[in-house]
Amino acid sequence: MCGIVGVVGKPARDVLLNGLKNLEYRGYDSAGIYLNDLQGHQYLTKAVGRIKNLEAKLTPDEQGVVGIAHTRWATHGKPTVANAHPQYSSDNRFYLVHNGVIENYATLKNKYLSDVEFHSDTDTEVIVQLVDKFAREDNLPAFAAFKKVLNLVEGSYAFLLVDNTEPDHIFIAKNKSPMMLGVGDGFNIIASDAISVLDQTRTFIDLHDGDVADVTKDKIVIEDLQGNAVDRPAKELDIDPNASSKGTYEFFMLKEIDEQPAVMRRLAQDYFDGNNVKVDPAIVQAAADSDRIYILAAGTSYHAGLVGKNLLEKYTGIPVEVGLASEFGYHFPRLSKKPFFIFLTQSGETADSRVVLTQVNDRQLPSLTITNVEGSTLSREATYTMLLKAGPEIAVASTKAYTAQVAVQAILAKAVGEKLGLQVARDFDLKHQLGLAAEGMQQLVDGKEKIDELAKKYLATTRNAFYIGRGVDYAVALEGALKLKEVSYIQTEGFAAAELKHGTIALIEKGTPVVALINDPATADLTRGNIREVQSRGANVIVFAAKEFAQPGDDVVLPQIEYYLSPLVTVVPAQLLAYYASKNKGLDVDKPRNLAKSVTVE
Ligand code: F6R
């Protein structure tokens, strides 16, 4: 949720500010930076709001060759300067940035720090004050004091710690929160996300949970919490740095919407050998051996899972359950005899999903993470991984990762169905369909002005809106509604079209926008009936209909594609509608209020 970056061994200020700007999508309610020039000067600056506010507060003399910085998504305490990170010990010796949540901070505070006066409401301050106490009272060097504290801590963390009495070191620790260690020539750099510091290095060490390290400009010592040496290899990351730049776009969200046809083509290329689907045989076997598939996810990924259920059931014949990870983790249902778990997660870091995966691993059950981030926590911890290959997704609202999730589930469904000898899977010309999806998406993004007009006409002033659909359109209605509400702040609900009349239709009044989705052959006429119901109560209806069901006056005619894959195209105008509704209101489309890209707290 929060973003952290630290550097030792080179002029730190600009490196940290750039890193923070690249990480801002992880959280952006306040930010802070600590610099030490190794000449006896240290500087701490913090600001509420965006990184630009922090930048404006920094004076020219605040420079250093060691520094740690943080952009925050508040969990403990309001977004204020006092609660922004770095947090520090009362004697100004230790400075700490933290991503994660310390569950037993109150216990630690009461047990060890009753005599300390706190200056923030954060769980993080407890940790830095405790390191200071152990260093002083037990006469421990910083690294030892830090490890002593870590052995008492319960919760998730990526920590960067600087001790002003040995400021050429950054001490770091990781548990359940992402952190990468970048290796430079004469310097080292630490960040919650490698993408944020790709301009500094391409060589990274992937730290594991329980790792602690002492990092200086030309040395890295990694240990476990018991002090045993740990060897973690460095590897070159193969990421296109342009993929994380906006280019000529005003916002990442539109760039990422526009990239979807290319993502479909890449998937059709990488997961096929000629026309034959190509998935790791071990994954296919494990799924084919199961008697039930459980898909776990959150938010947009959950909506992609609802579509995946239809695809997997149709092409594999295996029953599928889709669960919200945050619910499933604490209310495990009675499982089938041979379950197979799929974790859908763009970031691979979502804490709610990880809670379920941990339990799945405790029970030694097979699991697959479908993610966009190679080496992410859920990828590492699941039995298998399939990659979304969508390229970095920077806008907080997920777009291309959603469509990639739908496509990768279809790929898996075909591979498993073929393995099970099902004719329906053999007949599923998925490569061709992905080509149609790419063409259809292109046609839709090329017609984006029309969607901009719809947003201007119907969404400029409304306070609420609805999406309705049946079958897989219902799943897309949920996603369309989430997209619209998260970036435009218009309260939007996604509904199974027929359900409105069972109560919610009471909310329809003159001018209420209702977006109706029509792809389902079984219910296209019925949905038309539901449209008439809301129209006769004054709703402004926007219709996205598949070519074969389209009628004169429909707003968007969706290009032809097989019904179960129709979300790949239906979602595109929904994403664009959200984008324009937000942009036309002058909002920061990429960074909606209160949100963060990667939700690493439960
Ligand atoms: C909404 C959005 C979120 C994420 C959710 C899960 O646009 O992006 O709803 O889908 O937080 O995140 P991942 O997929 O990273 O597990």
Q: Within this chain, do residues 494 and 517 fall inside the same structural domain, yes or no?
A: yes
The whole-angstrom separation of Cα 540 and Cα 536 is: 10
Give the C-alpha distances (Å, rounded to integers) separating 29 from 71, 118, 152, 178. 7, 21, 29, 19
Q: How confident is the model at residue 242 (pLDDT cuts 50, 70, 90)?
A: low
The stretch 383-387 carries a mean pLDDT of 97
Report residue 493: phi and psi, to 5°: -120, 140
Name which residue sits closest to atom 11 of ligand 1, judged by CA.
299
Distance 253 CA to ligand 1 centre (A): 14
- Is a pLDDT exceeding 70 seen at residue 241? no
> The CATH number of the domain where 473 resides is what?
3.40.50.10490
Our mutation pick for probing the ligand 1 site, out of 301, 402, 598, counting the most ligand atoms within 8 A of Cβ, is 301
Q: Tell me, what's the pLDDT at 598?
A: 72
CB 300 within 8 A of CB 401: yes
Q: Within this chain, do residues 18 and 137 fall inside the same structural domain, yes or no?
A: yes
Report residue 529: phi and psi, to 5°: -65, -40
Distance 23 CA to ligand 1 centre (A): 16
Lowest mean pLDDT among 75-79, 391-395, 470-474: 75-79
Domain boundary residue among 184, 217, 243? 243
In a domain, 503, yes or no: yes
- Is a pLDDT exceeding 90 seen at residue 78? no
Tell me the pairing of strands 180-183 and 170-175. Answer: unpaired
Q: Is the CB of 519 under 6 A from ligand 1?
A: no
- Report how many domains make up the chain: 3
Domain boundary residue among 424, 445, 466? 445
Q: Within this chain, do residues 139 and 66 fall inside the same structural domain, yes or no?
A: yes
Q: Within this chain, do residues 353 and 389 fall inside the same structural domain, yes or no?
A: yes
- Is a pLDDT exceeding 90 seen at residue 601? no
- Is a pLDDT exceeding 80 seen at residue 25? no
Distance 350 CA to ligand 1 centre (A): 8
The stretch 467-496 carries a mean pLDDT of 97
- Is a pLDDT exceeding 80 seen at residue 227? yes
| Average pLDDT in the chain | 94
Q: Within this chain, do residues 273 and 364 fall inside the same structural domain, yes or no?
A: yes
Q: How confident is the model at residue 194 (pLDDT cuts 50, 70, 90)?
A: confident
197-220 pLDDT tens trace: 989 999 999 898 899 999 999 999
In a domain, 601, yes or no: no
Q: Is the CB of 600 under 6 A from ligand 1?
A: no
- Is a pLDDT exceeding 90 seen at residue 237? no
The whole-angstrom separation of Cα 488 and Cα 592 is: 8
Q: Tell me, what's the pLDDT at 542?
A: 97
Query: Which domain range does residue 541 map to?
Result: 447-587
> The CATH number of the domain where 66 resides is what?
3.60.20.10
In a domain, 549, yes or no: yes
Ligand 1, residue 599: give the atom nearest the CA: 11
In a domain, 593, yes or no: no
Distance 348 CA to ligand 1 centre (A): 10
Q: Is the CB of 299 under 6 A from ligand 1?
A: yes
Residue with the bigger pLDDT between 235 and 383: it is 383
What beta strand segments (E) does 81-239 contain?
87-88, 94-99, 157-163, 170-175, 180-183, 188-191, 203-206, 212-215, 220-223, 234-236
Catalytic residue set: 2, 597
Q: Within this chain, do residues 121 and 16 fall inside the same structural domain, yes or no?
A: yes
Q: Within this chain, do residues 265 and 289 fall inside the same structural domain, yes or no?
A: yes
- Is a pLDDT exceeding 80 seen at residue 1? no
Q: How confident is the model at residue 124 (pLDDT cuts 50, 70, 90)?
A: very high
- Is a pLDDT exceeding 90 seen at residue 376? no
In the three-class reduction of DSSP (H, G, I as helix; E, B as strand; rest coil), residue 60 is classed as coil
Distance 413 CA to ligand 1 centre (A): 22
Q: Within this chain, do residues 436 and 455 fall inside the same structural domain, yes or no?
A: no
Name which residue sits closest to atom 9 of ligand 1, judged by CA.
299
In a domain, 599, yes or no: no
**pTM for this prediction:** 0.80
The whole-angstrom separation of Cα 145 and Cα 169 is: 14
Q: Within this chain, do residues 339 and 208 fall inside the same structural domain, yes or no?
A: no
Report residue 87: phi and psi, to 5°: -90, 160
Q: Tell me, what's the pLDDT at 156?
A: 87
Q: What percent of the chain has pLDDT over 90?
A: 84
Q: Is the CB of 316 under 6 A from ligand 1?
A: no
Domain boundary residue among 184, 216, 243? 243
The stretch 376-383 carries a mean pLDDT of 92
Q: Is the CB of 175 under 6 A from ligand 1?
A: no
Q: Within this chain, do residues 113 and 201 fall inside the same structural domain, yes or no?
A: yes
Q: Within this chain, do residues 234 and 295 fall inside the same structural domain, yes or no?
A: no
Of 272, 550, 530, 543, nearest to 414 by C-alpha is: 272
In a domain, 596, yes or no: no
In a domain, 164, yes or no: yes
Name which residue sits closest to atom 10 of ligand 1, judged by CA.
300
Residue whose tokens read 């913090």: 46
In a domain, 592, yes or no: no
Q: Within this chain, do residues 310 and 170 fall inside the same structural domain, yes or no?
A: no
- Is a pLDDT exceeding 80 seen at residue 602? no
153-179 pLDDT tens trace: 999 899 999 999 999 999 999 998 889
